[in-house]
């Protein structure tokens, strides 16, 4: 019986809670600088927004539209 080769798996857990491979799938929020996966980031007006900043953007937009 042979011993299998040692395999090293490198991943990071981002502030959004998702785990990704370190060299792909990572983005930085343009507003707060939080690291998020590409699934959680929203591209709005050429800015990448994390879920929290996106919610704030939508909330502020709704307030402006209601005036």
Q: Give the contacts of 51 (CB within 8 A, at least 6 positions apart).
A: 16, 36, 40, 42
Residue 52, in any domain of the structure: yes
Supply angle C-alpha 5, 6, 10, rounded to 5.
135
pTM of structure? 0.70
In a domain, 6, yes or no: no
Total domains in the fold of the chain: 1
Say if 60 falls within a structural domain.
Answer: yes
Helices and strands of the chain, counted as H and E runs? 1, 6
pLDDT tens string, the chain, 67 residues long: the values are: 666 677 676 788 888 888 887 667 788 999 999 988 888 999 998 999 999 999 999 998 887 777 7
Beta strands of 3-67 (E only): which ranges? 11-13, 19-21, 26-28, 35-37, 42-44, 47-49
């Amino acid at each position: 019986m042979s011993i299998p080769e040692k395999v090293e798996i490198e991943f990071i857990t981002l502030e959004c809670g998702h785990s990704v491979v370190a060299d792909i799938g990572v983005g930085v929020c343009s507003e707060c600088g939080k690291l998020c996966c590409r699934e959680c980031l929203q591209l709005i007006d050429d800015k990448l927004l994390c879920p929290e900043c996106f919610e704030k953007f939508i909330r502020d937009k709704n307030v402006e539209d209601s005036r």
